[in-house]
Structure 1
């Protein structure tokens, strides 16, 4: 179709050129017909015919050739000037054959493209299969090394269990099962890690392991900063288990918080306050703070303050009070009771008395309470008066016996309970039995069973 349009366009462009052979006349000078020469007109007609023939020849030369009858049309277009016929002389059947030929050529071209794509896909599949075969071959070659590496890991696992369960030096401080288990876990992990590293070095994967360990170190550093408080409490709990500044059931005070120890877990130290409440203190706080243990030393001192009137004899008051304190059941003879004058003024004389109690046998609070009662009764019996805030006049010093009996308390010891108070100890024992967390402490002596 393109060649046909080109032929006709060439013919149309060639037609104006035929006017070149015609005589030109001036616009200003007109020649009359009678004055024109007869030979000039004949030459003009002949030149016109010649230019038409040349234009048609050029158009025919640009047209596509007509394929011969009964043969396949050529897939390519011929531009030869020797075409026997022009496009205007082709029949509709010839044009249909030409169109079919072009269609077949396009189908052939697409088929070749598809075949080329299939060949490329086949090449890719072949390359993938070759790669898989190479990997399988390398894996088969490394099977003995893999088996040996697996045996090394299994041997390291068995050796770690043997060391954790058999060696005597791993059972240091066996009274603390948490620390003993922690040491066993660390030893097992270390031995197993060495075995895994040897196996990986045998397989040639050491660079990969180094990269993984480096990444794990960076991640561990980031997590350490993120969970610093948790890590601090965990490490402090381990150190408390190693140092053992207290045992379960001990009466301790930390930062003004007082109670008896229930347990120490990986995060906190659990206390039971003297009024029966559970108190959890972070291990980091307990480890760094000043800790007061009332139970570690079984002997504990108590003291109390007594006021007497300024007119009374201090020596006499001291003698009476010391005798009364020494007679209290539960007060130790060694160290012996003592006393001190705290202050003397218009308000009276302040006397402080001291005594010692064995906490394993007697309760400190009960013994102190009984000592105060006995001193007050002894002062009343010895007419040692306390300071008065109201002045009064006494006209008769004699007193009735019934009046004296109503004021002065008896000095007998009968019916006085000075035994150790086990209420909190029983609650501590119950809380320890109900606790499901792992305890870092184990009592050296069962204080709660008494």
Structure 2
């Protein structure tokens, strides 16, 4: 999710009141006895929510009853210890808790649980997010092709960086913000099934999206800036990419820095629009389970609805935008999780036998930067692909000795030497 600002906290009670018709049910109702289940539940869709408002919008709806079964399994969040499922088991929901650690551990607990058969399940991340006003606006519904872990970098305070730097974030193993990282952890970028994303967009586009007069007034402020023209428009459904960071960042400098990160790390094809805390962690857990044939990573969908702008409009300060301005996007963003999301879920259920049971063939690479599941990513460096190298060689490769500054200097020197050689200069 995108964490609360102070103003969002102040308006949470009002938002909850507006959502009451959709959250009258509670996960604490009497549970069905599932202890004698003879076979695992095999859901067609698992909805992944990150905190209670995102989850509650699915409870008490007309389309299906997610509280038909409430199943406790080890490893879930202590705040949300149950998997909620319909009586048939076709649709289930987990609530991960906020942040990357909570998402990774909760989703891992689910995919490793013997209570469930998830080999044909569609994993539907459905939460709120911040939004880039260059690409979207409040209450818009976004579907990602890429999830980028933008904060996985060196970080310097802006007051400590060189005068020619525009950001204090520098990719690992290099010495400039505009270079591709040389030290790869494997969770930097995840690519999702583009064909499935486009189907999800087509389903969601049939929904009538919710909005608010407050968000309409706030988004109108962005019309003064040509680059933010989209932000002044009504909410829509669009395909663009999500940034993952445990830090609730805000402001023009950081947002532009992570636009840059998204572009570089996806080799120019990623479009940064949504800011969230959990998605790379969730996808990593699903992907590792796919490696063990417990899930199908190509069936993952990431939908984020826009609750707040990641930077201010003209005339509003960065601090005012984050902490004090009432943007009005939280209630409609929560509501649109259901309005758009239910179209995706019911679309999968209704087309199960004809289309979705067998899976949607991806026209693009799907997976992580390591190529853990095979194939060849269209981003990253081939030397980092697991399918292109012998992992046993890593154990014999001598570790670099020295401090970080020395290492950065060495990498920089090697790069300059390679550039010189390419120009025919002897070094």
Q: TM-score, normalised by structure 2?
A: 0.18
Question: 1 or 2 for the larger relative contact order (CA 8 Å, sep ≥6)?
Answer: 2
As a proportion of its length, which structure holds more helix?
Answer: 1
Larger radius of gyration: 1
